[in-house]
């Protein structure tokens, strides 16, 4: 009996590429297919088959999914258009005879949510369940990598302005999300929803202490209101879209407690514990102080 054929969408992106590498690290003997909108980006990728996969081209996607048993839909970055693309991918999977679907969602997408794009994730989950195809949904907590965009500036100024009011985030490294997704693909669809987290939920104050320990730079957390935070970001030249869809909603989400869950999903699916935030920061010390 042949091993299932695995298809990873978004294989040219950060998460999808890491999923491919994780599958190869497990020496999977079945066929692995890397789907991407731009196959030229993966021309040097060895050990897998590369196929063009564009969620906006449903007919082309049906063809790309020919012979596929397990299909990982890596959530796209097209906010506002994401749901339509995901639904098209699910419909294409059904037409192509795909047996199992896996999806990278977000934590606690149920309404009401502070996150403006939560309905796109919840809508995708609902469409997968309604498709009749066996599934596993992976609700990925926020990436540790996200902090590399803001922490260096905070450390440089010595101040971290926040409106989380002590609310916690259980950040998880992107590589651990990829390993969880790869593990789910190897395990097969279970009709389950996993929330993929790091090993501990931490407040910004606790993160600041870790950042100081790693870099030697003092960092003081200053609690302000959402309005003050938005005003400061706008004055600093941050685009309104980023403020309205990311900065403020993410602060509110942490404040609500919805980002603080803790699970053993990475260990269950991959067999190893996820890395700690301190280990991640230590590994990226140069980026934090540069």
The string of DSSP codes covering the chain is -PPPPEEETTTTSHHHHHHHHHHHHTT--S-EEEEES-GGGGTT--SSEEEE--TT-HHHHHHHTTT-SEEEEPPPS-TTTHHHHHHHHHHHHHHHT--EEEEEE-SS-PSS-SSTTHHHHHHHHHHHHHHT-EEEEEEEPPBGGGGGGTHHHHHHHTEEEE--TT-EE--B-HHHHHHHHHHHHHH---SEEEEE--S--EEHHHHHHHHHHHH----EEEE--HHHHHHHHHHTT--HHHIIIIIHHHHHHHHHTTT-----HHHHHHSSPPPPHHHHHHHTHHHHH-
Is residue 25 domain-resident? Answer: yes
Residue 224 lies in a domain: no
Q: What is the pLDDT of residue 80?
A: 86
pLDDT tens digits in sequence order for the chain, 290 residues long: 799 999 999 999 999 999 999 999 999 999 999 999 999 999 989 999 999 999 999 999 999 999 999 999 999 988 888 999 999 999 999 999 999 999 999 999 999 999 999 999 999 999 999 999 999 999 999 999 999 999 999 999 999 999 999 999 999 999 999 999 999 999 999 999 999 999 999 999 999 999 999 999 999 999 999 999 999 999 999 999 999 999 999 999 999 999 999 999 999 999 999 999 999 999 999 999 98
Q: What is the pLDDT of residue 256?
A: 98
Phi and psi at residue 6, to the nearest 5°: -105, 135
Q: Is residue 155 part of a domain?
A: no
CA dist 46 → 4, 20, 29, 36, 202 (Å): 19, 10, 14, 15, 39
CATH number at residue 48: 3.40.50.720
The phi and psi torsions of 229 (rounded to 5 degrees) equal: -65, -45
In a domain, 88, yes or no: yes
Is residue 226, in this structure, part of any structural domain at all?
Answer: no
Q: How many domains does the chain have?
A: 1
Q: Is residue 245 part of a domain?
A: no
242 domain-assigned: no
Task: Identify the domain containing residue 107 by its residue range.
Answer: 6-143+172-197+261-274
229-260: string of b/e by CB count within 10 Å (b at 16+)?
Answer: bbeebeeeeeeeeebebbbbbbbbbbbeebbb
117 domain residue, yes or no = yes
CB atoms < 10 A from the CB of 224, how many?
15
* pLDDT for position 59: 97
Written as six digits, the tokens of 25 are: 């690290």
The per-residue pLDDT for 290 is: 85
DSSP 195-224: EE--S--EEHHHHHHHHHHHH----EEEE-
The predicted model scores a pTM of 0.97
The reported pLDDT for the residue numbered 241 is: 95
């Amino acid at each position: 009996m042949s091993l299932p054929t695995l298809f990873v969408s978004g294989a040219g992106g950060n998460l999808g590429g890491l999923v491919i590498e994780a599958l190869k690290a497990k020496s999977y003997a079945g066929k692995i297919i890397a789907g991407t909108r731009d196959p030229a980006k993966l021309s040097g990728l060895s050990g897998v088959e590369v196929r063009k996969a564009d969620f906006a081209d449903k007919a082309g996607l049906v063809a790309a999914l020919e012979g596929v048993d397990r299909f990982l839909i890596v959530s796209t970055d097209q906010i506002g258009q994401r749901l339509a693309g995901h639904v098209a991918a699910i419909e294409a999977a059904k037409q192509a005879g795909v047996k199992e679907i896996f999806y990278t969602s977000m934590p606690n997408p149920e309404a009401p949510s502070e996150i403006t794009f939560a309905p796109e994730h919840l809508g995708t989950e609902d469409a997968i369940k309604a498709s009749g195809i066996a599934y596993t949904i992976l609700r990925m907590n926020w990436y540790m990598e996200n902090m590399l965009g803001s922490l260096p500036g905070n450390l440089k100024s010595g101040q971290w302005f926040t409106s989380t009011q002590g609310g916690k985030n259980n950040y998880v490294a992107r590589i651990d999300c990829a390993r969880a997704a790869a593990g789910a693909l190897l395990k097969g669809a279970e009709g389950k929803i996993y929330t993929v987290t790091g090993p501990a939920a931490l407040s910004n104050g606790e993160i600041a202490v870790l950042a100081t320990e790693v870099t030697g730079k003092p960092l003081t957390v200053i609690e302000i209101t959402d309005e003050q935070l938005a005003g400061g970001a706008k004055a600093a030249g941050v685009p309104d879209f980023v403020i309205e869809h990311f900065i403020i909603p993410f602060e509110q989400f942490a404040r609500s407690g919805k980002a603080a869950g803790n699970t053993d999903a990475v260990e269950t699916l991959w067999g190893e514990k996820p890395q700690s935030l301190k280990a991640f920061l230590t590994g990226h010390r140069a980026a934090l102080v540069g």
